[in-house]
Amino acid sequence: MIIVNSFKNKKVALFGLGGSGVATAKSLLAGGAEVLAWDDKMETVEKTRGQNIPVSDLHNVDWSKISALVLAPGVPLTNPEPHWTVKLAKAAGVEIIGDIELFIRERNAYLEHNKLSDEDLPFIAITGTNGKSTTTALINHLLNESGKMSEMGGNIGTAILSLEAFEKNRFYVIECSSFQIDLTPSINPTVGILLNISPDHIDRHGTFAHYCEIKKRLVNGAKTALVAVDDENSTKIYEELLHDHHNVLPVSKDKVLKSGYYAVKDELFSVENSKAEARLSLSGISSLRGSHNAQNALMALATLDILKIKPVELQRIFASYVGLPHRMQQVRKIGHALYVDDSKATNAEASAPALATFDHIYWIIGGLAKEGGITALKDYFPKIRKAYLIGDAAEDFARTINGAFPISMSGTLEKAVQEAHQDAGADKAEEVAVLLSPACASYDQFKNYGARGDAFKAFVKAL
């Protein structure tokens, strides 16, 4: 656990008692803060009380005595309307921050107290609309395989303050959502990574322009920034950082660059002083298949270079990465058919990388649809041999498909797997993919995307 000492003998209000909220409360208490914790769900409050964390209804506290409000990232800071705790804090002039901001302040203090440099306690921060988790997990894997002490957390699932305590030469690889960055004014990673930007969470950030500004904050504060230049919005941020003389390197999965890092199909290159060097091949690494994973791998390779880590067997440690659950994860191969779990693709943009990767696809799709449905995926329709529609979105998606390829109104995931298995087996192509990439939330039939992916794996293994 990382102990937060910066609020010793001070009152801190904490709202949102999920995993990160509880971890934050424990870190603050260990550092001597007086914590006033609360949540809008009374069953959560009672559960927290049972963990010896002081709870107090923040409607009734004296906010003039509060030093900070630590807000869970899932709680609205600005839009569609500031949460009631935010309004009370702002009225009292109380700063509003998140757990990653607490981590940064403690890291800064640790470095200063121990007379260490930034490189003695590296902090790698990753953001982007899509692909954050894979890049985060890949970098952490490579560091550990290179013999480094590396901790992974943030938006990927482990609360940042529950990671191992600061120690010289320990690395922290942190996935950052836009909600988390919004609560982190001092973000200052050793390496800051921006993968891509497309419209997302506009209901929480008000405008797309504001969403882009929040994403920029992470790389703007970085000692070295890595910015993808494959989409217009990220490219604009790269150019702004370059103009302002930031230490920034471009990365591209789509085009050859004169500096930075780029991919040509499965081959990864770095460029220095206009001289390109072939560094790594992703050919045959199933967990890093597809151009989106080329981008993830480029970012990881560049991070190793920036941190001056030179693994003896670079190809081997990349190949040893097995991938994240439910993110283009190969579950099984039956004959010429790959069975791929991409349940984490909960919107159209997230499904696009998987559809781009395979050429003969038996697509299991549907659930609780997001705004825009699958209209954005029409360019991939020629790759689809047949689709199996499930859940609430089935009829709407059938209308969007409108005869572009055969469909089955399967209804349930189990039936979809059985039908796709039969059809894929009869396909004469050299390789086909039975792909669960729903482009939808799971909540109509499953607790979450993980439960949906686990069900898919179980059905596939039972074939």
> Residues within the annotated binding site for ATP?
128-134
Residue 252 CA to residue 440 CA, distance in Å, equals 28
Q: Are 61 and 77 a contacting pair, CB within 8 Å?
A: no
H helix or E strand, kind and range, residue 120: none
Residue 430 CA to residue 454 CA, distance in Å, equals 27
User: What letter would DSSP give residue 55?
Assistant: B
DSSP string, 210-276: HHHHHHHHHHHT-SEEEEE-SSHHHHHHHHHHHHTT--EEEEESSS--SSEEEEETTEEEEEETTEE
Percent of the chain that is helix, strand, coil (3-state, to 5): 40, 25, 40
Which residues lie closer than 8 Å to 24 by C-beta, 6 or more apart? 4, 14, 70, 99, 102, 159, 161
Query: Token pair for residue 154?
Result: 């943030």
Residue 369 CA to residue 440 CA, distance in Å, equals 5
Burial per residue of 113-137, b for 16 or more beta-carbon CB atoms within 10 angstroms, e otherwise = eeeeeeebbbbbbbbbbbbbbbbbb
Q: In terms of Cα–Cα distance, which of 50, 39, 46, 73 is closest to 153?
A: 73
Question: Rounded to whole angstroms, what are the CA distances from 267 to 58, 223, 262, 298, 337?
Answer: 55, 28, 9, 10, 25
Residue 110 CA to residue 123 CA, distance in Å, equals 13
Per the annotation, where are the binding residues? 128-134
Residue 115 CA to residue 113 CA, distance in Å, equals 6
